[in-house]
Amino acid sequence: MRFALALVLISCAHAADRVMLDAHNCYPYDGKYQDRIEIALKTGLPLAIEQDLAWYVDPATGQGRSVLIHGGKPNGTEPNMRDYFFERIRPIVEKALKKNQRDRWPLITLNLDFKTNEPAHHEAVLKLLAEYETWLTTAPRTATPAEKAALDWKPVLVLTGASAAQERTFHDGVPVGGRLLLFGGGAVTTVSAITPIEELIPQPSTNYRRWLNAPWAIVELGGQAKAGDWSAADEERLRAIMDRARQLGYAMRLYTLNGHEPAVGVAAGWSIGYNFGSHAAVELRWKAAVEAGVDYLATDQYEEFAPYVKKSKRRPIGIK
C-alpha cells in the first residue's frame, strides 16, 4: 500500500507539466476561421488538435468522402483532413522523425470527433491514416482487449470516440498482430457531477480504449453555464476523477473551458454553452485542471490558455 501511494504521489508531482492544450474545433467552418490550426501550432508543442468529421456523398457521382464540419449537413465545399491537417503538419513531423527524440513523442495528438459514423466513413479515415502510418503511434492488436500492448511512439497520436461502431472498424477489423492506428475512448456513464466516481468510470482501459473524453459537467453540476464559485469541493472532485482515471489506466480529456464576454465568443464562432463568463472564472478552472494533471484540456482560447501549460519533453502521464 505504501509503495502504491508513493507511486501516486510521484505521478502527481509530475502531472502538471504533462498537460496539453487541446485546440477545440480546430478547423474552418462557415467560410471562416481558416487560420485556427496556425494559431494552435504557434502556441508550441506538444499540442492536441480536434477535428470534427462528417461523411459527404456527392449527389452527382454517388461518391463519398470525409470532410471537416461544424454542425449541420455537409454540402461538399468543406475542407478535408488530408489537406488541412496532415499536409500542414508534414514539415513538423518529418523534422521530428529525423531528430528521433522519442521521449518527446507524441508532439501532436489528433482528436477525431466523428459527427457521422457510417462504415464507409470509418473505412475512408482508416485508409487515410494508413497513408501516414509512419507518423503515427501504434500498438499491435492483441488476442484479448484486456491485454495491453506497448505503444510504438511516433510524433502523432490519433484518438477517437467511444462508439462501438468505431471499435468494430478500428479494432475488431484489424487482425491479431496487426497495428492499431488510433485508439478509442472508454465509457463515462453520465454527465453528472453527483454520480459516484466509481460509477462514473466503471471499466478499466483496454488495448484499444486508452483515454476518456468527458464534459466539464462531471466536475461541476450543470457544467459551465450553471457553475458557481470554484470551491474546494469542486477541486477535490476533479482530483478524485483524475485518480480514478489513472487507476484504470486512462488518459483524460475534459472539455471545453472558455471564459470571455459573450460578444467575443459570437465573433469568434465559439459555442455559448462552454463559457464561464469571464477570464477570472475560467482561470481558476484552468489552473486546477493543470495542477490535477488533466492530460488534454480543451478550450477555444488557444493563445490565452497556452501560458498555463508547462511545455515538457515528456508525454502526458496517462498515455501508456
Tens digit of each residue's pLDDT (9 = 90 or more) over 151-169: 999 999 999 999 999 999 9
CB 270 within 8 A of CB 30: no
Dist CA 199 CA 209 (whole Å): 18
Tens digit of each residue's pLDDT (9 = 90 or more) over 4-33: 333 333 334 345 667 999 999 999 998 899
Assigned domain for 273 exists: yes
Assigned domain for 8 exists: no
Containing domain of residue 168, as a range?
A: 19-308
For position 267, which CATH number holds? 3.20.20
Assigned domain for 9 exists: no
Tens digit of each residue's pLDDT (9 = 90 or more) over 289-307: 999 999 999 999 999 999 9
SS3 at position 43:
coil
CB 136 within 8 A of CB 156: yes
Assigned domain for 5 exists: no
Dist CA 110 CA 156 (whole Å): 7
Establish whether the linkage from the previous residue to 215 is cis, with ω within 30° of 0: no
Q: What pLDDT does residue 190 have?
A: 87
Closest CA to 108 of 193, 50, 176: 50
Assigned domain for 319 exists: no
Check pLDDT > 90 for residue 251. yes
Tens digit of each residue's pLDDT (9 = 90 or more) over 71-123: 889 999 999 999 999 999 999 999 999 999 998 999 999 999 999 999 999 99
Total domains, the chain: 1
- CA distance to 54, 227, 280, per residue, from 89 (Å): 21, 37, 33
